[in-house]
Amino acid sequence: MIPVILSGGSGTRLWPLSRSQHPKQFLPLVSHNTMLQETVLRLHGLADMKSPLGVCNENHRFMMAEQLREIGARPAAIILEPVGKNTAPAVALAALTADSPDEVLLVLPADHVIANVPVFQQAVAKANDLARQGNLVTFGIVPTEPETGYGYIKAGEANGEGSFAVAAFVEKPDYPTAEAYVKSGDYYWNSGMFAFTAGRYLQELEKFQPDILAACKQALSGAQRDIDFVRLDGEAFMKCPSDSIDYAVMEKTEQAVVIPLDANWNDVGSWSALWDVTPKDEHGNAINGDVMTLDTEDSFLHSGSKLIATVGVNNLIVVETDDAVMIAAKDRVQDVKKIVDQLKGAKRSEADIHSKVYRPWGYYHLIDNGERFQAKRIVVKPGAKLSLQKHHHRAEHWIVVKGTAKVTKGDQQLLLTENESTYIPLGVTHCLENPGVIPLEMVEVQSGSYLGEDDIVRFQDDYGRK
């Protein structure tokens, strides 16, 4: 089987931890591994599991590659979407990239929690057999309560192999309808996980949504391979219709089957869902970071950098990061997305990026900013190098705090060590490199009339950035 890891979500309901440039699948929300890493790691031990094939937004490519590298997973490829077009095109791209139409694709969103891995692996093995028989398999989560936030799958006739024909896919119901679904025992939550051969999926897609298949073929025909990355023809992919696997194929095919899965699954689609899967103290509080409580119950309290103290509250979500604090009633967490919409409407950067921003060479952390200045802490990985670049509107002062910096400044080359500094005048071509074996840490002070990240003119870049 080929694991197809779909990593296109933005996770706006988990703001301020999850943001569009660093969404929830790249965060360690339920363990020391990120959710993407957990998705791949839970496949370990399954027979004949091939290297994963990733599909992600091109802005997230370095995070996906680095996080897979950290767990020793070398991807077969990472397909970069210039714009999200939902799951049907994403899986079509994966199917077209497979070595053979007989390869079984195991389609997994990168942001789910599955606590009972052995039960999950048993279901995957069963799905592998069913897919090789020509079926299009989905996994239906055995419901634990009348949930109105999920779509449902109605099971039809049993096929004798622990699976059922799919009678219907149904939209998110109201509460009374969800209650009836759960009581009937015939309905399962729609997990968004699938298994089928590449050829069968493409056959059904061509039958029901030929425009999607044609656009994906064209986008791949003009694609460029760059290390592990497959860069699509952006203009061709922009013309692709946007649709989910459910709507495009699974609701229409006559060969859809559902495997019931009871493995403590959670899609962590909200703060209350994360509270559900996080260990709690004797008062029902899920606590992360520097937190002190008094007469506090059934709350989720996350501190990123500052002390959080709560007194006499219950059923609250409190999340603190370097640049934002979010407080919500636990029964209103679905509305966090509306706050993100307000931030985007006001063109505030907090909707998209953290004060700590990851780059392929390391990361920078915004320390302070004001009129005509800002200060950053920059960390460069050993052997890594920033692009050769210049700025039209700002000058920069660099102070090395730890490690060694190789600096290109115009025609000069400098080697700076701890407590040494240099000045990059406005308009001068420059480059920063870490030639050492330990991380390079430095403080950068920028000054000028405009300090945005788009004031970068790149002349040479090791990571293929424009």
Count CA within 13 A, CB hemisphere, residue 248: 25
Residue 300 and residue 318 in contact, taking contact as beta carbons nearer than 8 Å: yes
Q: Mean pLDDT of all residues in the chain? A: 93
Residue 322: the pLDDT is 87
Separation CA 215–CA 455 (nearest Å): 34
CATH 3.30.365.10 matches 2-266: no
Average pLDDT over residues 257-265: 95
Backbone angles phi, psi at 395, to 5 degrees: -110, 165
Give domain limits for the chain. 2-266, 271-339, 356-460
Residue-wise pLDDT tens digits, 308-350: 999 999 999 999 998 899 999 999 998 999 999 999 999 998 9
Question: Which run of H or of E encompasses 378?
Answer: strand 373-380
Residue 191: the pLDDT is 94
CATH 3.20.20.450 matches 356-460: no
Average pLDDT over residues 19-44: 93
Residue-wise pLDDT tens digits, 402-422: 999 999 999 999 999 999 999
Residue 460: the pLDDT is 86
CB-based burial of residue 397 (10 Å sphere; 0-12 exposed, 13-18 middle, 19+ buried)? Answer: middle
Average pLDDT over residues 232-246: 93
Separation CA 390–CA 162 (nearest Å): 62
Residue-wise pLDDT tens digits, 74-131: 999 999 999 999 999 999 999 999 999 999 999 999 999 999 999 999 999 999 999 9
Say whether pTM exceeds 0.85. yes
Provide the pLDDT confidence category of residue 465 given band limits of 50, 70 and 90.
Answer: low
Residue 466: the pLDDT is 67
CA angle 110, 111, 113 (to 5 degrees): 115
Separation in Å, CA 250 to CA 200, 260, 347, 385, 451 = 12, 16, 38, 46, 48
Coil, helix or strand at residue 106: strand
Residue-wise pLDDT tens digits, 206-215: 999 999 999 9
Residue-wise pLDDT tens digits, 35-76: 999 999 999 999 889 999 999 998 898 889 989 999 999 999
